Amino acid sequence: MDIDMGVVERRTVLAELYSTLPPYASAAFWSAVEDPTLPLEILVKILRTAIASGDEQGRRRIMEWIIVRTQATNLLWAQRVLQMLSLQADERSILARDLCADLHECMMRALADSERLFWEENFLHCLYFERKHVYRSFLTREGLWYKPSASRGMRIPRTLVASLDRLLQPQDRDHQPLEIEDEGVQRMFLSVEQSDLLQTVLCLPDKLKAVILLIFWEGRSEKEAAQVLSISDRTVRNRLRGALKLLRSLLSSESEGSFDA
Amino acid sequence: MHKKQELSLLYITAQYVADVQTGRQPRLSDYLARYPRYADAIADFVAYYHAVEEVRPSGELASAGTMTTLLATATGQRLTLSQIAAELNLSIDIVLLLEQRAIVPATIPHVLCEQIAILLQQPSAMVQEYLCSLGQHQPGSAMQKRKQQRKVAEEGADYPVPHVMDKLSFRAMVETSLQLSAEQKSHWRTILDAEGS
């Protein structure tokens, strides 16, 4: 694949910055490391140097600093993710902390893995992927992501446990269960807002996402989608049908409130 | 996925994000056709990126053709997070929260709004409108207008409405920030006390 000039330029800038750092472990070095404007990519490279040289104290210090630098944005991410789900306020704050803890754990593992070189090149993009992974694990754990082959785990989803503590309340307009037939589901795919559509697509298996996005998000015809993906029209239709079926099953399990726990 | 494939996927999707962020409006179909081997993974990332990670300017401000975000104003002026933080005597984490409009607008000092306006060369009212623009349900707001234009299948009865994100007060952020120095905290405390916030 092609590497454009922007990537080369970015690499050069980072390499130059790294080469201007004061000698490792000196006072000036730590001062430079803890400068909040130092790119996180450089911090990753330094962290890996500390790990390789067996400097446990340095490793811990740099790791903590990376967490400090990213915690505000990670917390916002967690809040944004939870905002997309129908939850009670008390659940939301607990789950936000859970999500952040999971993310930081995954992030620390990835940062320590010297084979994952892209962290030294584009930290934020790697963080997107790590968050995506954590988000999916969260949805699976909470029974909100459909994957037939995935074992849902023995833990009862927190959303369900919390609901036991809640007083029985009459359902308001925002929490009406959905009763949708196949045609209705398809109509909904066509009419939902783009952001809602994307959130719905996130719950589908990867194999079905491209077809749904091309047709309902980019406005392509089934034929065009088939051409883009180099598959037959029939496969497109099958995937479309599969997606609609899964969506219906997701919606019905949601309306039952069971999440297959 | 093999490490080499994973790296390729990271490059491809990073390019997609760069295209989005520079306003090039990339088409998913182009990427899928260009990298068929990664089609499923690209689609998965693109859906996630636009649903969760993408920072979208509020519809009202964007359509007015004025300020889009603190980082990229309509005048084409582009400032980095650290530049904004340094100019405003704030830390990056707080600038990020301002950018994401995650701080209760009423708790943000007027002085800060003025400073942002000067820094971004935007009217003060515009800055205040920007800081208030997310998660607010004011009559006549863009969100309200959008709701009125919803299609039949989008009626509220059919779809769960997400809760408004829990926002934080500016003072709480100043006190809990790990990046703000003691001098900076003291500076903002003095301003908050003077404004009675």
3-class secondary structure per residue, B26-59: CCHHHHHHHCHHHHHHHHHHHHHHHHHHCCCCCH
Ramachandran angles phi, psi of B189, nearest 5°: -60, -45
- 8 Å CB contact between A143 and A260: yes
Helices first, then strands: H and E counts in chain A: 12, 0
Q: What is the pLDDT of residue A23?
A: 94
Q: What's the pLDDT at A100?
A: 92
- Does position B73 have pLDDT exceeding 90, yes or no? no
- Per-residue confidence (pLDDT) for residue B161, from 0 to 100: 32
In A, residues 134-193, which contact B (CB 8 Å cutoff)?
135, 173-176, 178, 187-188, 190-193
CA distance B107 to chain A (A): 18
Residues of chain A with pLDDT under 70: 1-3, 144-195, 250-261
Give phi and psi for B72, each to the nearest 5.
-140, 100
The answer to whether the pTM exceeds 0.80 is no
Q: Which two tokens stand for residue A178?
A: 């959905």
- What is residue B3's predicted lDDT score, i.e. its pLDDT? 82
**CB contact, 8 Å: A86 with chain B?**
yes
Q: B100 pLDDT band (50/70/90 cuts)? A: confident
Report whether A126 contacts A19 (CB < 8 A). no
Q: Name the closest residue on chain A to residue B13, using Cα atoms.
A: A125
**pLDDT (tens digit per residue) in B25-63:** 899 999 999 999 999 999 999 999 998 888 654 443 334
Identify the pLDDT of residue A183.
Answer: 55
Residue A57: strand, helix, or coil = helix
Contacts of B162 in chain A (CB under 8 A): 83-86
pLDDT at residue number B140: 38
In A, minimum Cα distance to B168 occurs at A76
Q: What is residue A184's predicted lDDT score, i.e. its pLDDT? A: 52
Residue A232 has a pLDDT of 93
Q: B177 or B137: which carries more pLDDT confidence?
A: B177
Report the percentage of chain B scoring pLDDT > 90. Answer: 20
**What is the predicted pLDDT for the residue at A177?**
40
> Which three-class secondary structure state does DSSP give residue B168?
strand
Which of chain B's residues have a Cβ under 8 Å away from the Cβ of A191? 151-154
